Amino acid sequence: MDVTVRLNVNGVDKTITADPERRLLDVLREEFRLTGTKYGCGEGQCGACLVLVNGEPLRSCLSPITVADGKSIMTIEGLARGDSLHAVQEAFLEEEAMQCGYCTSGMILSAVALLRENPNPTDEEIAAGMNGHICRCNGYVKVMNAIRHAANTLRSESHG
Ligand code: FES
Ligand code: FES
C-alpha cells in the first residue's frame, strides 16, 4: 500500500505518495526531476547517487523513500546560492576534477559534508572520507586537489 511522505528538498517542502519500497533516488530523479543525482551501480558501491539527508551523506539507491520522511534532503541542485557556486563546486571546476561528471554530484556532496565535519583534513582523512566514490574516467588526484583547494577557500572565508 502506498504511503505519503513529507520531505524538504533543497529548501522546498514536498509531499509524495509512493510505494514505501520506492527508492529515494528514483523519486528525486523521476518525480522531482532532480537528475543531478545519478544512478550508477544501484548497489551502494559507487557513490554516484549520494545526497545529504539532514546534512549527512546517504546513498539514495539503497534508501527507500520512507527514510526521507520529515527530513531535509540536499541534492547537487540545491548547493549553489543563486549564481554563486559553493566553494567545493568552484574548486572542482578550477582543478578540473571531472570529465564526464557522472560521479561528480555525489563526490561534491560528500566533500561538503566532510569539510563541514573536518575543515582542515589531512590527505589521509580526505581519502578516507571519499572512500566509496568511484570515478571511471578522471582518476582521483585532481579530486584530492579540489578538496584541498576547497578546504583552503572555506577556511579563509570563515576567517575573513
Ligand atoms: S548508484 Fe548508489 S552507490 Fe552506486
Ligand atoms: S568524471 Fe566520469 S565517472 Fe568520474
Protein residue with least CA distance to atom 3, ligand 1:
44
Residue 6: which H helix or E strand, with range? Answer: strand 3-9
- The answer to whether residues 30 and 64 belong to one domain is yes
- The answer to whether residues 70 and 111 belong to one domain is no
Relative to the CA of 134, which ligand 1 atom is closest? 4
Closest ligand relative to 101 C-alpha: 2
Q: Specify the residue for cell string 570515478.
A: 135
Residue 58 belongs to domain with CATH number: 3.10.20.30
- The answer to whether residues 74 and 91 belong to one domain is no
**Ligand 1 midpoint to CA 34 (Å):** 16
Pocket test for ligand 1, best of 45, 53, 63, 107 (most atoms within 8 A of CB): 45
- The answer to whether residues 106 and 146 belong to one domain is yes
**Last-in-domain residue among 30, 47, 78:** 78
For residues 157 and 62, what is the distance between their CA atoms, to the nearest angstrom? 35
Please give the DSSP secondary-structure letter assigned to residue 51: E
**Ligand 1 midpoint to CA 16 (Å):** 22
For residues 100 and 98, what is the distance between their CA atoms, to the nearest angstrom? 6
- The answer to whether residues 71 and 99 belong to one domain is no
**Last-in-domain residue among 16, 44, 78:** 78
Statement: the pTM of the whole predicted model exceeds 0.85: yes
User: Nearest 10 degrees: CA dihedral of 151, 130, 100, 42?
Assistant: -140
- The answer to whether residues 48 and 99 belong to one domain is no
| Set of cell numbers at residue 23 | 527508492
- The answer to whether residues 107 and 68 belong to one domain is no
- The answer to whether residues 11 and 64 belong to one domain is yes
Residue 12: is it exposed, middle or buried by C-beta count within 10 angstroms (0-12/13-18/19+)? Answer: exposed
- Walk along the chain (160 residues) and give the pLDDT tens digit of each residue: 999 999 999 999 999 999 999 999 999 999 999 999 999 999 999 999 999 999 999 999 999 999 999 999 999 999 999 999 999 999 999 999 999 999 999 999 999 999 999 999 999 999 999 999 999 997 799 999 999 999 999 999 887 6
- The answer to whether residues 67 and 106 belong to one domain is no
**Last-in-domain residue among 50, 78, 106:** 78
Domain with 115, as residue range(s), is: 87-159
Number of structural domains (the chain) is: 2
